Chain A
Amino acid sequence: MLNEEYAVHCLGLTKKFGSKVAVDSLDLQIEPGTLFSLLGVNGAGKTTTIRMLSSLILPSGGCAMIHGHDCVKEPDAVKRLVGVSPQTTAVSPRMTVFENLVFMEELYGADKKTAQRNANEAAERYGMTEYLHSPSKILSGGQSRMLSVAMAMAGGPKVLFLDEPTLGIDVIARRRLWKVINDLKGKITIILTTHYMEEAEELSDRIGIMIDGRLRACGTLAELETQTGLKGLEPVFIKISEGSL
């Protein structure tokens, strides 16, 4: 039975692409305000899970809810509640940073004045004022990722999906993005996928490890350490990934 009090709740969530099972009977409960990191090697099913939870694709089986709204039956309600920062930066290249932010705010229903005010506030919050009126196509990788996260926050989502947000950006930009994510912690629910163990360690309240579409382990870092008898997320992840747990 799905519980409406969870920010994210799935039961037996499954996605098959032909004969390949990308996500296999995923059971997951995430409390509101939690930062949940979903870890796994490439092809483990992390992005597919995010796509199902954000009503982008239909599951092959099972069910999922975002704050009590069914991801299959109520996609519009779900899309109003979630923000998505995809793996590849998705911005409008010839529009400025400001215009991109206003565009997203307006898509989520803000009037022009509110959208502009929110865009200015977002630029301030995410340190983008310097290049606010520059075309997005000239931004660096780190700046693009920051814009992508800021755009995902348009409309004030209750659940934010960050799909490998720091992939391919330098250490300074990564730390800046960590600060932004840390500032959001507790205010909204964040589902983060990443390949960087130190990132998950630094930011997460809870961690889930997916292997071949299945959630093999889930808990706080301390709980996972106790389960494996190891110290630190990287050895814990390797042990679980290699199937020795």
Chain B
Amino acid sequence: MKRALIFAKRNMTELLRDPLSYIFCLGFPIVMLAVMTLVNESIPAESSMTLFRIDNLYGGIVIFGQFFIMLSVSLRVASDRRSAFLIRLFATPMKPFDFTAGYVLPMTLTCVMQTLVSFCAAYVIAAITGYSLPVGGMLLSLAVSALSGVFFVSLGFIAGTLLSDHAAPAFCSILISVGSFLGCIWFDGDSAGGVLLTLCRVLPFYYCTKAVRAAVALDLTPSAFFVPLAVIAGSAAVTLAVAVAAFHAKMRSDSN
């Protein structure tokens, strides 16, 4: 575990010194919260559309932000592979677990930090626009974001492990477009229903958004919170296991 923490510290240092991290991981969610709040303010009240109201918007933006952390992880891992830095580390006594934990831990922490920043920004926006956000719900959303963070970080880790530093961000961009749509970040899937909702329910992204929104609303019913939470936990566990296996396999093939 000690080596995993040493490697995690290295990855955190690299992340904190990369200006792109601030744009992708912190700046972007704040900008999106502000822009979409402006959009919401422009929607006539008679339309009864509440998707972009800050209490709903916050949950969507938390998950949207994690898509960008996924992109950031994929870039970091793919760049380390390209620069031969990882091959060099393979010649040290580090184990596959040390590498995986060393990438996943700091990036999951970044997910929580990102949620915290979004939380603060949402709180300020809510105060300005005259809505109230329950602090308890917001704190619960931090816990949910840690779990969904493991899922998104593991996805990025898989992309960075299996793809080159050119292909990984391209793949993640496609995933951001498809995932944010099917994750019901930009539309209300439950109201849409039909094939579209069925499609959304096939992928874990929908449950991520749903669980964070339910957490903020303190709607702790099984269908709104606990079932989505269980799906996120299961998806995170499976994706993390695949990430470890993929990295282990790639570690051998990169060396050979």
Bound complex: CA A80 to CA B94 (Å)? 10
Closest Cβ of chain A to B101, distance in Å, is 14
Smallest Cβ-Cβ distance to B79: which chain A residue: A93
Smallest Cβ-Cβ distance to A107: which chain B residue: B92
Asked if A107 and B3 sit within 8 Å, CB to CB, the answer is yes
Asked if B17 and A94 sit within 8 Å, CB to CB, the answer is yes
Question: Cβ of A103: which chain B residues have Cβ within 8 Å of it?
Answer: 6, 9-10
Asked if B93 and A108 sit within 8 Å, CB to CB, the answer is yes
Choose the segment among B25-33, B80-88, B131-139, B235-243 that binds chain A (4+ C-beta atoms closer than 8 Å): B80-88
Contact with B along A97-132 (1 / 0, CB 8 A): 001000110111000000000000000000000000
Q: Is A79's beta carbon under 8 Å from chain B?
A: yes
Asked if B91 and A55 sit within 8 Å, CB to CB, the answer is yes
Partner of A79, one of B6, B85, B92, B256: B92
Q: Is A54's beta carbon under 8 Å from chain B?
A: yes
Question: Cβ of B91: which chain A residues have Cβ within 8 Å of it?
Answer: 54-56, 79, 82, 84
The number of chain B residues touching the other chain, given as a range, is: 20 to 34
Q: Is the interface of B mostly helix, strand, loop or mixed?
A: helix
Bound complex: CA A92 to CA B92 (Å)? 15
Asked if A94 and B85 sit within 8 Å, CB to CB, the answer is no
Bound complex: CA A54 to CA B93 (Å)? 11
Bound complex: CA A68 to CA B94 (Å)? 21
Question: Cβ of B171: which chain A residues have Cβ within 8 Å of it?
Answer: none
Asked if B84 and A88 sit within 8 Å, CB to CB, the answer is yes
Q: Across the A-B interface, how many residue pairs have beta carbons closer than 8 Å? A: 65
Question: Cβ of B46: which chain A residues have Cβ within 8 Å of it?
Answer: none
Closest Cβ of chain B to A138, distance in Å, is 12
Asked if B92 and A57 sit within 8 Å, CB to CB, the answer is no
Closest Cβ of chain B to A121, distance in Å, is 20
Asked if B85 and A92 sit within 8 Å, CB to CB, the answer is yes
Q: Is A51's beta carbon under 8 Å from chain B?
A: yes
Question: Cβ of A89: which chain B residues have Cβ within 8 Å of it?
Answer: 84
Question: Cβ of B94: which chain A residues have Cβ within 8 Å of it?
Answer: 107
B87-101 contacts to A, CB under 8 A, are 87-94
Contact with B along A66-106 (1 / 0, CB 8 A): 00000000001001101010111111111100010001101
Question: Cβ of B92: which chain A residues have Cβ within 8 Å of it?
Answer: 79, 104, 107-108
Closest Cβ of chain B to A34, distance in Å, is 21
Contact with A along B1-38 (1 / 0, CB 8 A): 00100110110011001100000000000000000000
Known contacts A95-B13, A95-B14, A107-B3, A90 near B83 by CB under 8 Å: yes
The number of chain A residues touching the other chain, given as a range, is: 20 to 34
Bound complex: CA A106 to CA B106 (Å)? 18
Smallest Cβ-Cβ distance to A154: which chain B residue: B92
Asked if B83 and A94 sit within 8 Å, CB to CB, the answer is no
Question: Cβ of B47: which chain A residues have Cβ within 8 Å of it?
Answer: none
Asked if B256 and A57 sit within 8 Å, CB to CB, the answer is yes
Question: Cβ of A107: which chain B residues have Cβ within 8 Å of it?
Answer: 3, 6-7, 89, 92-94
Asked if B255 and A51 sit within 8 Å, CB to CB, the answer is yes
Partner of A93, one of B6, B83, B87: B83
Smallest Cβ-Cβ distance to A90: which chain B residue: B88
Bound complex: CA A82 to CA B85 (Å)? 17
Closest Cβ of chain A to B44, distance in Å, is 48
Smallest Cβ-Cβ distance to A102: which chain B residue: B6
Bound complex: CA A224 to CA B14 (Å)? 48
Question: Cβ of A56: which chain B residues have Cβ within 8 Å of it?
Answer: 87, 90-91, 255
Bound complex: CA A54 to CA B92 (Å)? 9
Bound complex: CA A87 to CA B94 (Å)? 20
Bound complex: CA A84 to CA B92 (Å)? 9
Asked if B93 and A79 sit within 8 Å, CB to CB, the answer is yes
Known contacts A103-B6, A107-B6, A80 near B17 by CB under 8 Å: no
Question: Cβ of B83: which chain A residues have Cβ within 8 Å of it?
Answer: 88, 90, 93
Contact with B along A34-58 (1 / 0, CB 8 A): 0000000000000000010011111
Asked if B17 and A86 sit within 8 Å, CB to CB, the answer is no
Bound complex: CA A51 to CA B90 (Å)? 10
Question: Cβ of A55: which chain B residues have Cβ within 8 Å of it?
Answer: 91
Smallest Cβ-Cβ distance to A103: which chain B residue: B10
Question: Cβ of B88: which chain A residues have Cβ within 8 Å of it?
Answer: 84, 86, 90, 151
A-B contact pairs, 13 of them (CB 8 A): A55-B91, A56-B90, A76-B93, A82-B91, A86-B84, A89-B84, A90-B89, A93-B14, A94-B18, A95-B13, A106-B6, A107-B94, A108-B93
Contacts A90-B85, A95-B10 aside, 16 further interface pairs with beta carbons under 8 A come to A54-B91, A56-B87, A56-B91, A57-B255, A79-B91, A80-B93, A82-B91, A86-B88, A91-B85, A93-B83, A94-B13, A94-B17, A95-B17, A106-B6, A107-B93, A107-B94
